[in-house]
Chain A
């Protein structure tokens, strides 16, 4: 089963709201990733977790807060977002972050609109 699930599929939130995106995989992968993707552009890496520890933070604003409660789950907590944060948020997982051969499997994404 090469499935990564993400909830919700769509999210509309105001700039003062607090919300969370959820990502889950049951492939036994030890690396999980958050990407942000604007329309017609490539995904941009935000965070990497390896063995449940934050490994890479690509200088993401603090209004985005990642959390990895266990090896299967990855959350992205959102607070005080700006309209320019509206995008498709993709979660991905791979067996290990340290081996170039391991492909990343992506979830279907959450389309976020900030009003």
Chain B
């Protein structure tokens, strides 16, 4: 069964330091997409970064990079130079394709990141 696992319920990081949020996934489908979303306390889910299963290179978007290790089925998010505004809940998610229905986004349990000044 397809599944996303985030094993860190909460994390702390010092401002300006880098932090890695862990995500492992399980799927037998050769074609899939992995996403990271940020959810501040206001509630909106903000798309951060995407990695496709066939992408040869790790995705990067500004201060965000995705450490994609396909053989280990992991897709960790790295945030460089943390800022106070990075304090939020972070969700790892995967698109799973359902026959005749299309894609369905499944989420991990989330990691709450707190950035200390």
Q: Is the interface of B mostly helix, strand, loop or mixed?
A: strand
Q: Could you give, for residues 73-106 of chain A, a 1 whenever the CB lies within 8 Å of some chain B CB and a 0 otherwise? A: 0000000000000001010101011111111111
CB proximity of B89 to chain A, nearest CB, Å: 8
Which range holds the interface residue count of chain A? Answer: 20 to 34
| Segment of B16-24, B29-37, B68-76, B77-85 in the binding face | B29-37
Contact across chains for B44 and A108 when beta carbons are under 8 A apart? yes
Contact across chains for A42 and B110 when beta carbons are under 8 A apart? yes
Which of B35, B43, B107 interacts with A109 by CB under 8 Å? B43
Contact across chains for B45 and A90 when beta carbons are under 8 A apart? yes
CB proximity of B30 to chain A, nearest CB, Å: 11
B97 on the interface (CB 8 Å rule)? yes
Please list the 10 inter-chain residue pairs (A to B) with the smallest Cβ-Cβ separation, ordered nearest first.
A97-B102, A42-B107, A106-B45, A100-B33, A100-B95, A109-B43, A108-B44, A98-B102, A103-B47, A56-B101
User: A41 vs B97: C-alpha distance in the bound complex, in angstroms?
Assistant: 23
- Residue ranges of B at the interface with A (Cβ–Cβ < 8 Å): 31-33, 35, 37, 42-47, 50, 52-53, 89, 91, 95, 97-98, 101-110, 112
Q: 8 Å CB contacts to B: which residues of A30-51?
A: 31, 33, 40-43, 45, 48, 50
A66 on the interface (CB 8 Å rule)? no
User: A92 vs B50: C-alpha distance in the bound complex, in angstroms?
Assistant: 16
**Closest partner residue, chain A, to B91 (CB atom):** A42
Contact across chains for A48 and B107 when beta carbons are under 8 A apart? no
Residue of A31, A41, A55, A103 with highest tally of chain B CB at under 10 A: A103
Contact across chains for B110 and A40 when beta carbons are under 8 A apart? yes
Contact across chains for B31 and A100 when beta carbons are under 8 A apart? yes
- Residue ranges of A at the interface with B (Cβ–Cβ < 8 Å): 31, 33, 40-43, 45, 48, 50, 55-56, 88, 90, 92, 94, 96-109, 111
Contact across chains for B105 and A45 when beta carbons are under 8 A apart? yes
- Chain B residues with CB under 8 Å of A88's CB are 43
Known: A42-B91, A42-B109, A48-B104. A100 touches B97 (CB 8 A): yes
